[in-house]
């Protein structure tokens, strides 16, 4: 069963393999598939300036198969994509920066887990993981730089996307800056649409140390 | 930002804030008419786009097309030849009718659609294609006699249209949920699901422990509820409405 693991500075030493897989998958998807060539790296690992010690990785892991999806959250008090690269996307409301707002980037689902003509359950699991994590850490909002086509989806999921400014057109795609509200209602609606019952997290996100760490400490 | 661009942005932010709190299709139509009217759009349609080029009606969320045009469009079977529909299946970015490549609009059937539209006052227009949360194709399409849409306004109309769609979709979902009469019962959905994977009425009866004629009754009732003409059609429609899952 696929579970979402929240990986931050406190437990990342337990997830060397998963984090390594995730950087390679990011390279395969963003450089290989989507051809964002400025992210290409000779070692086949996609890493950018926002992969710092403060980044949180929410990785969907399938036992026996490894990482099948995931996403990244970066504190908005740190340098992040909207503040450093696309501040003009927030030319009306300003770039949100607060301790309880993180920026959401690098959502991905491996090709084998995408389903043509229907919803990808793995994507739904990652969305629920983001909401559960934010609710457990009392993060009220996420900010996002994304293509405009996300807006109808985020509205239907109950994430309440709020525009921060005018869009820009880059490589033929309309890009917007938005915030989304991380609420129980959003979690309910997202679970309903993806038919997900209950938590998707590997351990209760309130527990900072995962089970395997305690085992590791004992041995 | 220039004064007029600033005005376009303000108007869009105001319209978007309104769309989020409106709760009836009529209210969204009213607010969207007011907003789009600024740019010369006098008509619009917010609708899902069926792949099978069948009738559009069950997919329409907001209909503000001119009187008579929808009837003419349906009767003439324009949907299957409409170049805008074709273009929507190929892009997720908005496009103006007059920007469509000539090879799409010059065919006999396609140019007939565009010429007839003109007679209803739909001379030029903008289509905002989108995907709903389930990944199905939809569009917010708008038109008028003379549209005036500088690039900065066009970008904001694009975003406002996505929010208008979101409002129509939210209201549509809650209404069909409350109406309820056209939703399949658990048993009907069960029968249809077994049918969808190739079981005969006799086999479905065996699996569910009910008589073959009861299975056929359920399938008949499904056809009535979904407005479909045979079991294959029912399966397709029920999948589209998320009433069954395979």
Same domain (yes/no): B200, B120 = no
The model's confidence at residue A208, banded by pLDDT at 50, 70 and 90, is very low
| A172 interaction partners in chain B (CB closer than 8 Å) | 93
CA dist A182 and A187 (Å) reads 8
A211: tokens are 């089970």
Mean pLDDT of chain A, nearest integer: 91
A155 to each of A190, B123, B162, how far by Cα in Å? Answer: 10, 32, 9
Same domain (yes/no): B208, B225 = yes
- DSSP per-residue letters across A59-94: EEEETTTEEEEEEEEEETTS--HHHHT-GGGGTTT-
Same domain (yes/no): B167, B210 = no
- DSSP per-residue letters across A169-218: EETTEEEEEEEEE--HHHHHHHHHHHT--S--BSS-TT-SS-HHHHHHHH
pLDDT computed for residue A105 by the predictor: 97
Same domain (yes/no): B90, B110 = yes
pLDDT computed for residue A176 by the predictor: 98
Q: What is the pLDDT of residues B145-159, one digit of tens each?
A: 999 999 989 999 999
Same domain (yes/no): B80, B141 = yes
The model's confidence at residue A76, banded by pLDDT at 50, 70 and 90, is very high
Give the burial class of A165: count Cβ atoms within 10 A of its Cβ; 0-12 exposed, 13-18 middle, 19 or more buried: buried
Q: Report whether pLDDT(B49) > 60.
A: yes
Q: In the listed set B134, B150, B177, which residue is the last one of a domain according to the structure?
A: B177
Nearest CB partner across the interface for A167, out of B131, B155, B245 = B155
Q: Does B172 touch chain A (CB under 8 A)?
A: no
> In this structure, what CATH number is given to the domain that contains residue B200?
1.10.10.10
Residue B201 lies in a domain: yes
> In this structure, what CATH number is given to the domain that contains residue B137?
3.30.450.80
CB A33 within 8 A of CB A89: no
Q: Report whether pLDDT(B240) > 90.
A: no
pLDDT computed for residue A42 by the predictor: 93
CA–CA–CA angle A66, A68, A72 (5° rounding) = 105
Same domain (yes/no): B100, B211 = no
Same domain (yes/no): B32, B91 = yes
Q: Report whether pLDDT(B180) > 60.
A: no
Q: In the listed set B124, B150, B177, which residue is the last one of a domain according to the structure?
A: B177
Give the burial class of A160: count Cβ atoms within 10 A of its Cβ; 0-12 exposed, 13-18 middle, 19 or more buried: middle
CA dist B223 and B216 (Å) reads 11
B124: which residues sit within 8 A by CB, 6+ positions away? B96, B97, B98, B143, B144, B146, B147
Q: Report whether pLDDT(B196) > 90.
A: yes
Q: Report whether pLDDT(B57) > 90.
A: no
Q: What is the pLDDT of residues A47-70, one digit of tens each?
A: 999 999 999 999 999 999 999 999
3-class DSSP state for residue B64? Answer: strand
Sign of the CA dihedral running A136, A141, A146, A150? positive
Residue B140 lies in a domain: yes
CA dist B167 and B26 (Å) reads 11
**What is the ipTM score, two decimals?**
0.90
Same domain (yes/no): B49, B124 = yes
CB B202 within 8 A of CB B212: yes
Domain count, chain B: 2
Q: Report whether pLDDT(A210) > 70.
A: no
Q: In the listed set B177, B212, B228, which residue is the last one of a domain according to the structure?
A: B177
Residue B47 lies in a domain: yes
Q: Report whether pLDDT(A207) > 60.
A: no
pLDDT computed for residue B63 by the predictor: 94
CA dist B228 and B244 (Å) reads 15
The model's confidence at residue B29, banded by pLDDT at 50, 70 and 90, is very high
User: Chain A residues with CB-CB distance to B under 8 A?
Assistant: 91-92, 117-119, 147-149, 151-153, 155-157, 160, 163, 165-167, 169, 172-174, 176, 193, 195
Q: Report whether pLDDT(B183) > 60.
A: yes
pLDDT computed for residue B54 by the predictor: 66
The tokens 């086509």 sit on which residue?
A149
Nearest CB partner across the interface for A193, out of B9, B133, B165 = B133
Q: Report whether pLDDT(B51) > 90.
A: no
Same domain (yes/no): B185, B161 = no
Closest chain A CA to residue B174: A156
Same domain (yes/no): B186, B146 = no
Mean pLDDT of chain B, nearest integer: 90
* Contact yes or no for B93 and A193 at CB 8 A: no
CA dist A135 and A17 (Å) reads 27
Same domain (yes/no): B49, B95 = yes
The tokens 């066009």 sit on which residue?
B154
pLDDT computed for residue B176 by the predictor: 59
Q: Report whether pLDDT(B69) > 50.
A: yes
Strands A66-75 and A3-7: unpaired
State pTM to two decimals. 0.84
**DSSP assigned state of B164:** H
Mean pLDDT of A198-207: 74
Same domain (yes/no): B52, B66 = yes
pLDDT computed for residue A97 by the predictor: 98
pLDDT computed for residue A143 by the predictor: 98
Residue B245 lies in a domain: no
CA dist B78 and B141 (Å) reads 15
Residue B159 lies in a domain: yes
A218 compared with B125, residue with greater pLDDT:
B125
The model's confidence at residue A118, banded by pLDDT at 50, 70 and 90, is low
The model's confidence at residue B242, banded by pLDDT at 50, 70 and 90, is confident
B195: which residues sit within 8 A by CB, 6+ positions away? B201, B204, B219, B231, B234, B235
pLDDT computed for residue B53 by the predictor: 62
* Segment among A113-127, B101-115, B190-204 with least mean pLDDT: A113-127
Range of the domain at B204: 180-240
């Amino acid at each position: 069963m696929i579970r979402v693991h929240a990986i931050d500075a406190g437990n990342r030493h337990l997830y060397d393999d998963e984090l390594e897989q995730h950087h390679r998958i990011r390279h395969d998807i963003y450089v290989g598939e989507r051809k964002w060539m400025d992210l290409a790296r000779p070692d086949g690992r996609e890493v950018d300036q926002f992969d710092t010690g403060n980044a949180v990785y929410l990785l969907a892991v399938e036992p026996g198969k490894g990482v099948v999806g995931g996403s990244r959250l970066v504190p908005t008090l740190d340098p992040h994509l909207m503040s450093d690269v696309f501040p003009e996307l927030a030319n009306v409301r300003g770039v949100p920066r607060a301790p309880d707002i993180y920026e959401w980037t690098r959502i991905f689902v491996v090709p084998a887990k995408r389903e043509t003509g229907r919803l990808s359950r793995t994507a739904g699991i990652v969305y629920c993981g983001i909401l559960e994590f934010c609710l457990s850490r009392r993060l009220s909002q996420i900010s996002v730089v994304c293509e405009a086509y996300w807006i109808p989806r985020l509205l239907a999921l109950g994430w309440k996307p709020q525009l921060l400014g005018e869009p820009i057109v880059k490589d033929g795609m309309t890009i917007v800056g938005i915030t989304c509200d991380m609420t129980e209602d959003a979690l309910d609606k997202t679970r309903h649409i993806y038919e997900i019952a209950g938590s998707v997290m590997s351990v209760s996100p309130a527990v900072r140390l995962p089970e395997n760490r305690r085992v590791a400490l004992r041995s | 930002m220039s004064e007029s661009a600033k005005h376009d942005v303000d108007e869009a932010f105001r319209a978007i804030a309104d769309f989020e709190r409106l709760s009836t299709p009529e209210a969204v139509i009213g607010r969207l008419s007011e907003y789009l009217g600024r740019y010369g759009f006098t008509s619009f349609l917010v609708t899902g786009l069926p792949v099978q080029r069948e009738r559009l009606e069950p997919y329409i969320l907001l209909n503000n097309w001119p009187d008579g045009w929808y009837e003419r469009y349906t009767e003439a079977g324009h949907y299957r030849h409409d170049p805008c529909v074709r273009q929507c299946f190929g892009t997720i970015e908005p496009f103006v009718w007059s920007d469509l490549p000539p090879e799409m609009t010059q065919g006999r059937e396609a140019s007939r659609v565009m010429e007839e539209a003109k007679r209803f006052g739909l001379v030029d227009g903008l289509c905002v294609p989108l995907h709903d949360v389930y990944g199905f194709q939809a569009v917010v399409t708008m038109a008028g006699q003379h549209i005036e849409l500088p690039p900065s306004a066009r970008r904001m109309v694009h975003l406002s249209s996505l929010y208008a769609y979101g409002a129509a979709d939210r209201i549509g979902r809650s209404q069909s949920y409350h109406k309820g009469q056209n939703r399949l019962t658990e048993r009907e959905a069960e029968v249809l699901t077994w049918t969808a994977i190739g079981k005969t009425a006799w086999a479905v009866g065996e699996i569910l422990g009910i008589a073959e004629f009861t299975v056929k009754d359920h399938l008949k009732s499904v056809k009535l509820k979904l407005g479909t003409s045979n079991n294959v059609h029912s399966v397709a429609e029920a999948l589209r409405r998320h009433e069954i899952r395979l």
